[in-house]
Structure 1
């Protein structure tokens, strides 16, 4: 039986550190293996350089060269496809293209970005490596319309660009919420964009009308800063801590709406999870985020600020029927577009011809 090689240069799906990237990598492996084809995690080599450090990049290239030699030698002879998840300028695939060229294996990528603006500066070499890896891919599956812009502009030869909408890990939808209860926010508490979303949440809460309650699921190194942001609201904000999948699903089920601004989110799995439970979402209209939200509701532009978010929340809180209708439509869209069965149909439709040619 043919086998598929799977590799994630930024973070292994077996990493003990939770993140959206790890969860999506795990979901991709499971989805691909769902048709009975063995999917092997062929390397846990991590090429990530967060700082733009030339010395670190040189060391990573040397380590990658060792992995290339090992895999050219040891990769099973029945490997019919190589899949790399999340190749980008801070974590380029330094392994897959070389191994596939040496072993005549079709090479494809999922969620890759081309960053021509990074071809100069501290990540220039890594950005070029990511660009070259994109060129080597016969198929690139893109998750958002924003990623497609540069992938299409820099498309290499007859390379296929195929939309693969982000998807939940299971084909069964959870129990539907009644869209009553407190509002819910969920996100890791860390400096940068996540903290910026929490800051925007606090600014929005200050503009809400009437009595309200917000539950927050999440934890992390920025927990003290988040707690300080929410302190003025006292008992109206309740911290749930970091929840496992079942705990988070229970939180969706007892909530009235999901509120996460989405500052610089690639797309955000929490939006899919919330909508699968039938929750209406309050978020800003941002690239990536809009790809996983129900079309139709007027999500405010980032420049409209916290006042516009508060206005959307107040409208939803005042109209249970609207919450139910939007939540129901969002749940239906998840069922048809964002589950593993839909993803598998897209994936196998694109790669089966490559595997047949290679065998």
Structure 2
């Protein structure tokens, strides 16, 4: 069995602040451990520059040098693999390349991106560091076809690029939805992309006719703006606040349709959760989102809210279609997006690296 040093430069899996990034890191640790291998969180140091502050980048580089020296000395002696999650120009891995080289162990990355446009400008130093880390990795696992484009173009030497589809941290599907309840939206309420999705959602609902209701699970600093967007629909839109996973699962078990446009979503774990429960999806055809959806014919962004509304109307008027689409979605998740698939994909690519070192 392997002993793995795991590191996430942008946000530790132990962070107290909920986010999709934190949850994916936790899920990846669970997947790597699933065959009995040991995973240690190598470091809690955060390397993240949100605004392109070159002084901050230099300060973080110094902290990373100190931390790397500590890890070279203090990592358990039987550590035989380093894994970094989410190396990119705002959060480069400044530890893994140095520690793995000094300790003579394989180095792999999960969900890394290359941003050649950032190799000049305020993030240039960090962008070059992220590229160096990518070049160092023997295997890079990518989650979406969009990520693969630049990884393939900038591939270093004989480096392996391996698909690892986003996945749910469960071995079995949850109970199937009755698909006869309210429509459902699950999304954080933040300025920027999330608020943009809520704006499209409100514009979409303007075109939906008949007797419908929508449950909205989520909270955040933009909640007043979201509530204002939805005020025109009165009690048909119900705000449920931020819910834990058990409460969300209860919503999936009766939701008729899951609706979320998906503006600039990396992929969206909520799409996987809804489909696992057999809830049909209404979303826009966007990079990242399309990598986790069973159907490939979601409305093009350019078609606007009316196309989303037509899709909603189709499902609202056809319970049999909701059932058949939901069952197809469950089969798709079972085949491609559960933890067992992720574990198999990871170790199939990585075990040979360990065998080469033994």
* Same-fold call, TM cutoff 0.5: yes
Does residue 245 of the first structure (1) align with residue 245 of the second (2)? yes
Q: Deviations over 1:20-42 (max 9, x none)?
A: 11111001101111111110001
Q: Deviations over 1:204-243 (max 9, x none)?
A: 1111111210000001111111111111111000011101
**TM-score (norm: length of structure 2):** 0.99
Count how many residue pairs are aligned between Structure 1 and Structure 2: 358
Matches of 2:120 and 2:304, distance apart in 1:
33
Task: Return 5+ residue gaps in structure 2 as ranges.
Answer: none
Aligned to 1:337: 336
Matches of 1:179 and 1:89, distance apart in 2:
42
Aligned to 1:303: 302
Equivalences for residues 173-322 of structure 1 within 5 A: 173-296=173-296, 298-322=297-321
Q: What displacement does 1:295 show?
A: 2.6
Aligned to 2:13: 13
Q: What displacement does 1:86 show?
A: 0.5
Matches of 2:229 and 2:354, distance apart in 1:
53
Q: Which 4+ residue blocks in structure 1 deviate beyond 4 angstroms? A: none
Helix, strand or coil at the partner of 1:210: coil
Matches of 2:65 and 2:357, distance apart in 1:
25
Q: What displacement does 1:304 show?
A: 1.1
Equivalences for residues 28-107 of structure 1 within 5 A: 28-107=28-107
Matches of 1:56 and 1:320, distance apart in 2:
55
**TM-score (norm: length of structure 1):** 0.98
Helix, strand or coil at the partner of 1:79: coil
Matches of 1:270 and 1:223, distance apart in 2:
19
Q: What displacement does 1:128 show?
A: 0.8
Q: What displacement does 1:51 show?
A: 0.5
Matches of 1:127 and 1:300, distance apart in 2:
34
Q: What displacement does 1:2 show?
A: 3.5
Matches of 1:262 and 1:22, distance apart in 2:
19
Helix, strand or coil at the partner of 1:147: helix
- Farther-moved stretch of structure 1 (303-312 vs 263-272): 303-312
Matches of 2:207 and 2:127, distance apart in 1:
42
Task: Return 5+ residue gaps in structure 1 as ranges.
Answer: none
Q: What displacement does 1:354 show?
A: 0.6
Matches of 1:80 and 1:233, distance apart in 2:
57
Matches of 1:44 and 1:356, distance apart in 2:
29
Matches of 2:66 and 2:200, distance apart in 1:
45
Equivalences for residues 158-169 of structure 1 within 5 A: 158-169=158-169
Q: Deviations over 1:228-279 (max 9, x none)?
A: 1111111000011101000001111111010010000010000000000000
Matches of 1:128 and 1:48, distance apart in 2:
14
Matches of 2:2 and 2:180, distance apart in 1:
49
